[in-house]
Amino acid sequence: GQSLEQPSEVTAVEGAIVQINCTYQTSGFYGLSWYQQHDGGAPTFLSYNGLDGLEETGRFSSFLSRSDSYGYLLLQELQMKDSASYFCAVRDQKNRDDKIIFGKGTRLHILP
């Protein structure tokens, strides 16, 4: 079957670094994405990994290891505005079946 696992909650301190892990099991893997969602808002795209390695976008980085079916989102220099839910998502493509599967989300709490 298809599944993504990520922690339900993570707490960190303002200014610190936090890593949110995601493991996946899919029938046909095409890429791993990360989305941010603030309370009451819509999910917004943060980062995409199609190949193994690290992708960096400002304070956010994302990593993928296809052989381990594992990725993570790294947030540096945490700010209070980073308090949100973070979702990993996998593009699961096999034959004509091609869709995005989302994890259940990780709620990030930031302490002052």
Partner 1 sequence: DADVTQTPRNRITKTGKRIMLECSQTKGHDRMYWYRQDPGLGLRLIYYSFDVKDINKGEISDGYSVSRQAQAKFSLSLESAIPNQTALYFCATSDPDRGDIQYFGAGTRLSVL
- Residue nearer to partner 1 on the CB measure, 17 or 30: 30
31's CB contacts (< 8 A; 6+ apart) are: 48, 49, 50, 90, 91
- H or E stretch including 40? none
Residue 36 interacting with partner 1 (CB under 8 A): no
Residue 8 interacting with partner 1 (CB under 8 A): yes
**Torsion sign (Cα): 4, 6, 69, 81:** positive
Give the tokens for residue 83: 């308090």
Residue 103 interacting with partner 1 (CB under 8 A): yes
Binding test (CB under 8 A) with partner 1, winner from 24, 73, 105, 110: 105
Contact 72, 61 (CB under 8 A): no
Residue 87 CB, nearest distance to partner 1 (Å)?
A: 6
Residue 10 interacting with partner 1 (CB under 8 A): no
Residues that bind partner 1 (CB under 8 A): 8, 30-31, 33, 35, 41-45, 48, 50, 87, 89, 91, 97-105
